[in-house]
Amino acid sequence: MRHIEALQNEDIEIQLLIEAIFLKYGYDFRGYSRAHMKRRIMRRLTISGIDSISEMQRLVIYDREFFEKLLGDFSINVTEMFRDPSFYKAFRKEVVPVLQTYPFIKVWHAGCSTGEEVYSMAILLKEEGLYERSQIYATDFNEEVLQKAKEGIYPIEAIKEYTYNYQHAGGKAAFADYYVAKYDSAILEPSLKKKVIFADHNLVTDGVFGEMNVVICRNVLIYFDKELQNKVVGLFHESLCNGGFLCLGSKESLRFNKYVDNFDPVIENEKVYRKKFGC
């Protein structure tokens, strides 16, 4: 009985902490999966040696530096270049031929993290002859990861995996053509940034990115509760032009989303959908 009461008290403390963050800084995590938030909070509690979540709440309110660390914990930064190669291969085959019929292409990469998947799409568009008539908007709420994305510098030890992904994603060149190795880093080819605009945008609180041909938001919705998933997919729906493509992560789906009837599945196993005309 005491154990159940302790868990209930812990849940209340977490709820109060999330509310304090919203009231103090305007970052709204109230619709995030509670299990995800709890894992992140407990991790920071252990790392910082803080006695309780209540003490953490006090620090969040009065210590901006501590809040920035916690904000970094909440950010979803699991990414790699050409992550899930089969997605990129299918995108080349099914989506690129449609994009090739457009005079100009606008792509929104929502929740771009440190940018690996943004540059992956830039490479794909370059190889398909679309990059020069494209504009990619790469957004995240975390300024620290956005800065890393803008730099386009990644650990050299990751390159072997990235090369493997690229090859299995249908890459048409040598992956080594897209970076320069320097010491322990791989510096991406500067031309890959030419058509990318990195910007601060919060999917929970900010508004529409209008008239996009493609919205890519992979492996972000899984961290949201159902209500927030509906809200964010609604945002994507409003941001897409008629016939625009929505690309989600492998563990995500529109199946139980309120906007499911506004999209047609294009590549069902890769979670690529197309906004119906007139919706």
The helix/strand/coil state of 224 is strand
What sign has the CA pseudo-torsion 108, 112, 117, 120? positive
Query: Where along the chain do its domains lie?
Result: 2-74, 85-275
- Residues 212 and 240: beta-carbon distance below 8 Å: yes
pLDDT at 3 over 70: no
Strands (E), the chain: 105-110, 134-140, 153-155, 179-182, 185-188, 196-200, 212-217, 240-248, 263-267, 272-275
Q: Which amino acid is at 62?
A: Y
pLDDT digits (tens, 9 = 90+) for 160-215: 999 999 999 999 999 999 999 998 999 999 999 999 999 999 998 888 888 999 99
Burial 74-97 (b: 16+ CB within 10 A, else e): bbbeebebbbbbebbbbbbeebee
pLDDT at 262 over 70: yes
- Residues 174 and 208: beta-carbon distance below 8 Å: no
pLDDT (0 to 100) of residue 4: 62
Confidence of residue 5 (pLDDT cuts 50, 70, 90): low
- Give every CB contact of residue 110 below 8 A, 6+ residues apart in sequence: 139, 201, 203, 209, 215, 216, 217, 220, 236
**Average pLDDT of the residues in 254-279:** 92
The helix/strand/coil state of 145 is helix
pLDDT digits (tens, 9 = 90+) for 26-75: 888 888 888 888 888 988 888 888 888 889 999 999 999 998 888 888 77
pLDDT digits (tens, 9 = 90+) for 97-156: 999 999 999 999 999 999 999 999 999 999 999 999 999 999 998 888 999 999 999 999
Q: Does domain 85-275 have CATH number 3.40.50.720?
A: no
CA 25 to each of CA 18, 22, 71, 142, 167: distance values in angstroms, whole numbers, following the listed order: 11, 6, 11, 13, 43
pLDDT (0 to 100) of residue 1: 57
